[in-house]
Amino acid sequence: MLETFEQTQLFRFDQMAVQVKEKVDPAEADVDRYVGLEHIDPESLKIRRWGETSEVESSKILFKSGDIIFGKRRAYQRKLCVADFDGICSAHAMVLRPKTDVVLEDFLPFFMQSEIFMNRAVKISVGGLSPTINWRDLAKEEFALPPLQEQRRIVQLLSAAERYQNALYDLSERGTSSRDSLVDHRMRGATLGATTYHERVGRYFNGWNLVPLGELLTAAQYGLSESLHGKGQYPILRMMNLEDGKATADDLKYLDLSDSDFETYRLVSGDVLFNRTNSYELVGRTGVYDLPGDFVFASYLIRLKTDIDRLSPEYLSAFLRAPIGRRQVMSFATRGVSQANINASNLKRVLVPLPPIGYQKEVVELLTVADSSRRWAIARLQVARELAGQVVYGSLAR
């Protein structure tokens, strides 16, 4: 039995919520909207995107307005939302309804966003590449909840915080959309003069050569496929270590290597890392390596080394993330049961309208400036989320 705190009471999760299991054939569903995991924004309860039921075929789970949709696959992505319409959702999600004699309908989503719940969800997930939560395991997990009166007080605070977070998120998304449009426009050289058209690229400045990416690289190398550990000789970057066009040192794993293997896989500043295998919505993430220390890279990444006299690493990373490059990359993605893959051979076929190095640097500088307001919004959004999390944690630690 877990320790309880003053003013809290322990409940099994199946005392807090019921799992909705009503499956339906999309063609027979009396709803129009489909919510897949790709439509759910991490750490946001609001649904901002959806697909149409006509776009999906296999059976899905029916949900009602007010239901919680929780991504049970890869819980570390923290995909959790509250439906404000009726629809169907991916079978990779759980649909949950609060048991209101124990937990308020508006409190449960905030609780499930907390570190207390999310850490437990990740811990009980099973599987390697796509860890998944089983309801029977989650159902028996015990959590401490405050009394309903205290839950009401917390909901008032967190609802205001959620509105503020949504405003910041929308500001961030507008910044991202404006940035992507601006950068894509510049990468096409649309203001430089007459343009020409290619079926894979679209329109671009006819003064630039259209060059296959493979001709602009000096190397395209797959990473290491070895057992990883919490401690070891060298830190290894994995697919979750790519964020906003940069390599990050978050949640590191380690391994031991011979000197020769280390030299083969050692990352050098300016290397571009490309995520070749992931879920369909995340495959193709890209980041430039510029971290202090000695790092190597894992098998689901491809290391790209550019001919720096012709192609800037930062420009390449931005190009592969911009619409002009992203559309080409995704055209080569092959789908599996739960994963998509883009191999190095196909990646080399991506066509780059190649501007001079000086122009590339100008675009990278423009991208840096355009990102500043977005980073401002994201930083404040993160602070708001942390404060909200502290409110929930404080209510459970009394």
What is the distance in angstroms between the CA of the first residue and the CA of the last residue of the chain? 17
pLDDT of residue 28: 87
Q: Which of 13-22, 111-120, 364-373 is the least confident region?
A: 364-373
Confidence of residue 5 (pLDDT cuts 50, 70, 90): very low
Whether the pLDDT of residue 3 is over 50: the answer is: no
pLDDT of residue 103: 93
Written as six digits, the tokens of 341 are 């893959």
pLDDT tens column, 68-110:
999 998 889 999 999 999 999 999 999 999 999 999 999 999 8
Instruction: Work out the mean pLDDT of the chain and round it to a whole number.
Output: 88
pTM over 0.85: no
Written as six digits, the tokens of 311 are 């192609």
Residue 323 CA to residue 317 CA, distance in Å, equals 12
Helix (H, G, I), strand (E, B) or coil at 94: strand
Instruction: Give the mean pLDDT of 389-395.
Output: 62
Look-up: residue for tokens 């950068």?
183
Tell how strand 87-89 and strand 33-35 pair up: parallel
Q: Which of 39-53, 102-116, 338-352 has the highest mean pLDDT?
A: 338-352
Contact status, residue 93 vs residue 71, Cβ threshold 8 Å: yes
pLDDT of residue 178: 67
Sign, CA dihedral 6-386-240-48, equals positive
Domains in the chain: ranges and CATH: 9-145 (3.90.220.20), 212-348 (3.90.220.20)
* Helices and strands, number each (H, E), in the chain: 10, 27
Instruction: Give the mean pLDDT of 254-282.
Output: 94
Instruction: Give the mean pLDDT of 265-292.
Output: 94
Q: Which of 302-306, 365-369, 385-389 is the least confident region?
A: 385-389
Q: Which of 107-116, 150-159, 347-356, 364-373 is the least confident region?
A: 364-373
pLDDT of residue 4: 40
Contact status, residue 279 vs residue 74, Cβ threshold 8 Å: yes
Written as six digits, the tokens of 386 are 């942390």
Residue 318 CA to residue 299 CA, distance in Å, equals 22
Whether the pLDDT of residue 213 is over 90: the answer is: yes
Written as six digits, the tokens of 172 are 């961030």
Whether the pLDDT of residue 333 is over 50: the answer is: yes
Contact status, residue 369 vs residue 149, Cβ threshold 8 Å: no
Confidence of residue 1 (pLDDT cuts 50, 70, 90): very low
Instruction: Give the mean pLDDT of 192-205.
Output: 95
Q: Quick one: which H or E segment has residue 300? A: none
